Structure 1
Amino acid sequence: MFSSVLIANRGEIARRVIRTARRMGIKAIAVYSDADQSLPYVHEADEAVYIGESAPAQSYLDSVLLIDVARKAGAAAVHPGYGFLAESAGFAQAVINAGLTWIGPDPSAIEQMGDKIRARNLMAAAGVPVAPGSAAPVADAEAAVEEASRIGYPVMVKAAAGGGGIGMSAAFDDDALRSAFDTARSRAERFFGSPEILLERYVPHARHVEVQILGLADGRVIALGERDCSVQRRHQKVAEETPSPGVSASLRSRMLSAAVLAGEAVGYRGAGTVECLVDTETGDFMFLEMNTRLQVEHPVTELVTGIDLVEQQFLIAAGEPVTFDASVPVDSSGHALELRVYAEDPKRFLPSPGPITEWSEPSGPGIRVDSGYAAGTTVTLFYDPLLAKLCVHGSTRAEALSLARSAVADFRVAGLKTNLPFHAELLDNPEFVSGDYDTGLVSRMRQS
């Protein structure tokens, strides 16, 4: 096991990684920009190194700078968290070339899964169900119309190199597709440096369900259950739960087996997530994408399994066995729910930066808060406005929902707007409470 780790990230996830590193006796080295110097993770790390201006390009996205900092600080390993450079094959390879331990999958796996078209084709060849779609980048809007006639409307337009819902939109006819294609291509070029676009069959009534996998040091790939991520705004997740109330035992078994196949197809090592869409009308599921990193919503899996996923990441990267018996299916207990607390308007979901004048987290049995901010800190426009992840664990879904309602009511944040009122609304929404919901839930809530 390495003795020190540089955490190439910030906020909540940096704080989360620090917590496990310190428990394992690993020196935690943090990095921070101008905007982040007062955040809790900076002071909780064993060492914190200033890396530059607030703009990500001058700090958290500067791979050369980060590797130089890691060397000078004496770090033996690098944990990328999520976002920023976490899914950069180039950064992963640079870390390895510098003689440091990369806490993540092999760069080749990151590269193969980073391109959605390539990933679709690879998964199809491995026997993983995929939605009807394009097997190559779509050249232009007219080619998109021709491809859509083959796939069948409605279609989803996506950036091949993208993520986070950026540039995604559904089209139901030729004119809408032409407009969506041009918009998606422009955003893909701007945000991801690649104009390549793919089309997939759009499933109007779908659940977004993902499977947590671990690629072990001995070459095996195992699945640790699924998470339902269907509560979304602008194709971005807002709340997650496990187990999914919309997945039967037989469907779960098939999804977990397919996720293992997906990991095996790329020789996956470490923590990763295979994301799928489940058609609520047919019960079929199909591969969506693979995230070659730790997910934001990993705490709900930790709560029901009792497994520290960051610890397993460390162990696997060091070539050591995991802390549980991986030869048998992992037991899970109860029901867990995560609510992402953002600095944003709870109605329109627009960012709401500013100083935090009050911060009081709920606590008690079954409640976990992974937070990145505190009273006296400031949320800026430079980064994602995620403040914290409010997680609860109950013996049943009903118990978890009840605990979540109390925890939301007890979470006090002042000085800026947050989406806590939205979560209170969600937890009382009949559709959500029933468990019979899909990715259109938030849109329907805002239309009512």
Structure 2
Amino acid sequence: MIDLKLSEIATSINGDFYGEDKIIRGISTDTRTIKKDQLFIGLRGPNFNGNEFINVAKKNGAAACVVDSNIVNDIQTIHVKDTKLALGDLARVWRKRLSSVFIGITGSNGKTTLKEMVSTCFSQNHKTFNTVGNYNNDIGMPLMILDMNNTYEYAVLEMGASKPGDIKYLVDVAYPDVVLINNAAPAHLDGFKSINGVANAKGEILQGKVTPKFAILNHDDSYYNLWAEMASNSEIMTFGSNSDAMIYPERITLEKNYSSFDLRTPKGSINIHLKLLGMHNVLNACAAAAVLLSQSKTLSEIKNGLEATTPVSGRLVIKESQHGHEIIDDTYNSNPKSMSVAIEFLRKRDKTKVFVMGDMLELGKEKESLHKELGKKLNDANIDYLFGIGELTKHAVDSFKNNGFWYEDIDCMIEEIASMMLKNREMSILVKGSRSMKMERVVKVLSV
């Protein structure tokens, strides 16, 4: 973790320092978890002002505070114009002192799974740091960097965005040596306005102030050519579903509880047996392999890491109810592309197919049409039942035709599905929706 004098920190973030100089060991933005000798940074949010908590921070052990208001206090204080920008500036300075190889991962879908794959692969033989949870934004990622030290050989960071400029900011804090774009899909359209906006925003990872040595790109994606042009100053490595890419799978087997394939690379091929399910995870594994190959890792190292990777919570994780039904937990988040992946996965199950969905959010002016289209896809995939919760799922249920049910109350919906489970012992029930829809509650009840 960060280990600097207050005077050094003040200089790094262009702040005015008041008080006695001392060494800071660690950063916190939360007075509830702050530790002795840490620096408290008072962030502002829509419903809170961290500047108001510096007395609590001091009481709980803070050695000093960074604030953006002229607060007079007997604790050491650094005054800045913007505490959130100060957090990023400090992380940038600290990152320059770290010798770790930094990996930056972005994409509309699969970022977290890819992050786990890559970090698991590296951690087989190297001390590896990776983003915790969804700490992938302009607050979370700087905090992750500030928690690092020079004992780590690799750092694997997830970079998220909800509007143009978000990833550019993160890249110019982290200075990644290797970057990976997994895909571009309709997501966060309230901020990006269009899929073109999404693709250009993902491309920001390629054009930071420091050019990444390696750019790993999805050759299958329709925006590959755009990204390849943006990455002209980096060494490009590609992954995809066929031999047009440098790294690709062959002899693919997708079973109910595992996926296997031959990984084809410029270094040769090797068979991979994944604990993760679905074709999209086979491609995620190819992407992760590209990262490892950029660092001259062997095929056996890649195999060991990929096969050690376990499913990420809420991402196509199969559970079993007490009555023997499959409950497929894909509740972490959703957008049209990830919904399509989920539909294709459910389509291949050999039981009665039930799709339980919450709204897909942040889709801008296309939100209604995209939900209608989803209902048609479910119908075309021969899904047997659709249950919807949330105003937007009405449009999906309406276009699904037969056996589509919309509910205003989630408890009523759960009760109806549970009743149906008692009458039918052969069901595959997939649950999915945007994070704020809290669809994991459905999984929890049905899995009992």
Q: How does the TM-score come out when normalised to structure 1?
A: 0.27
- Which structure has the larger Rg? 2
Q: How does the TM-score come out when normalised to structure 2?
A: 0.27
